[in-house]
Amino acid sequence: MLKYLIKPWAHQEKAIELSKTQPNLALFFDPGTGKTGTAINILRLHCMKQKRVVPTLILAPIVVLPQWKHEFSLHSKIPQHQIFVCYEKGPKRLEMIRNAIAQTKGECIIISNYETLLMDKCFVEFMNWRPEVLIVDESHRCKSPTAKRTKKVIQLADRAKNKYLLTGTPITNSPMDIFAQYRILDGGATFGDNFFVFRSIWFENVLSGTRATFPKWEIKVHKINDLNRQIYTKALRAVKSECLDLPPYVRTRIEVGLSMEQKRLYEEMRKHFITFMDSDHGEKPQAVIAQQAVTKALRLQQIVTGFVKTEDGNIIRVKDNPRIDALSDLLEDLTINNKVIVWCNFKENYAQVKDVCQRLNLEFSELTGETRDRETEIQRFRSDPAVKVLISNQSAGGVGINLVEASHAIYYSKTFSLEHDVQSEARNFRGGSNIHEKITRIDLVAPKTVDDVITTALENKQDLISNILELRKQLENSLI
């Protein structure tokens, strides 16, 4: 009988019980619903049954590796000297992996990032070690069957006895994302081991017969229910709104127009892939050029947030920037009684937001790709009542961090990535956020611009996931 150190929620306990009969299981749990703790308790079952620490490899994004070891200390009594977090640079990482395996005679838990698999000598060590349990955290990172990391994970998975997928977003672009993840999970038992056969069975090119240069693959409408059934033969899903006692989540869109200067820059870039910006130093106007469509979208995003990057690499801010004014007004009001996260996409945005905070005499923390001491910055925001604002990037601060102290999140700029959007949203809307009456998300959007395009794209992707996974309740109940 497994004794819990922390009482699990009902959906966690259901997954733990199911693991007793399902050797391979996908936990499609929303961020903040406890998939890490669930996986650790499932691993505890294996260790208890075999009366030893079962050789286990946990693969996860690098930013959450320390969090995994911390969660082990909360949910288990597995000796800490048998748990190793390995992400040191170069030869040190290989040395640590070898020492971990040698010191424990292979009976250890190694937590590492996906990039380790691309280091040939480290990968060979893992293959020779032959971990019995493989846990793939944020498994959607392995959605591409042609990616090197996916191929490496598949090789390891084929040698493991038990595999577990953990992600809240198993589908981020297309239902085809599910193929590689299930190839890892069960060796092809559910969807086969050939991607092109899988695609031909479940999808169709809706542009077939047209003059379109590229195909557009969409799931066959009459196959959606069958796809659901196949997915949930080995998966459970946990949705925050259904399984946690959470406050209302309020999503607010604040439309912020462009200044006359921004409109000129935006229209010139949109039409001609080039615009010119007056220098702050009285020099001749500098060119801002986009060589291709991807760069063009990036330049348009920068313009609506209030700056441009010239061909010489110079950053020039737009003097009249309504978006920064709107942010200033919001922070001035909200920080009286609340902590606020401001999500940004560009380095210059960080500087813009910092300037606003300094102007308002607001203390702030930073959590971006440039932050060296992440833990100190996180703790300052969480524990210091004077620190009212966290300035963060969705990629750097949007995964594996608990920020429930914040009742508000302002999206100053964002990307097309559904993963970034869902993960960042879950930082302060998760278990523990019921300390607030409500959680508010504020999207700053310039109407009829790339902002609208990004927002619509994210909403459409979210609708796609909901549609594909909508039968989960009936199917999950049939598993037990």
For 108-150, the pLDDT digits (tens) are 999 999 999 999 999 999 999 999 999 999 999 999 999 999 9
- State the average pLDDT over residues 420-435: 90
For residue 224, what is the enclosing H or E element? helix 224-231
Closest CA to 332 of 308, 359, 354, 351: 359
pLDDT confidence band for 478 (50 / 70 / 90): very low
Q: What are the tens digits of pLDDT across the range 196-240? A: 999 999 999 998 888 778 888 999 999 988 999 999 999 999 988
Percentage of the chain lying above the pLDDT 70 cut: 91
pLDDT for the residue numbered 367:
92
Give the pLDDT confidence score for residue 475 in this predicted structure: 45
pLDDT tens digits, 274-304: 666 566 555 566 656 666 666 778 888 999 9
Residue 479 has pLDDT above 50, yes or no: no
Burial class (CB in 10 A: 0-12, 13-18, 19+), 25: buried
Average predicted confidence (pLDDT) for the chain: 89
Q: Which of 378, 304, 392 lies closest to 343 in space, CA to CA?
A: 392
Q: What 3-state DSSP class applies to 241?
A: helix
Q: How confident is the model at residue 311 (pLDDT cuts 50, 70, 90)?
A: confident
Q: Residues 406-422: what's their mean pLDDT?
A: 91
What does the pLDDT read at residue 480?
Answer: 40
Structure confidence at residue 245 as a pLDDT band (50, 70, 90): confident
By the 8 A CB rule, do 404 and 426 touch? no
| Highest mean pLDDT (candidates 54-63, 125-134, 167-176) | 125-134
pTM for this entry: 0.80
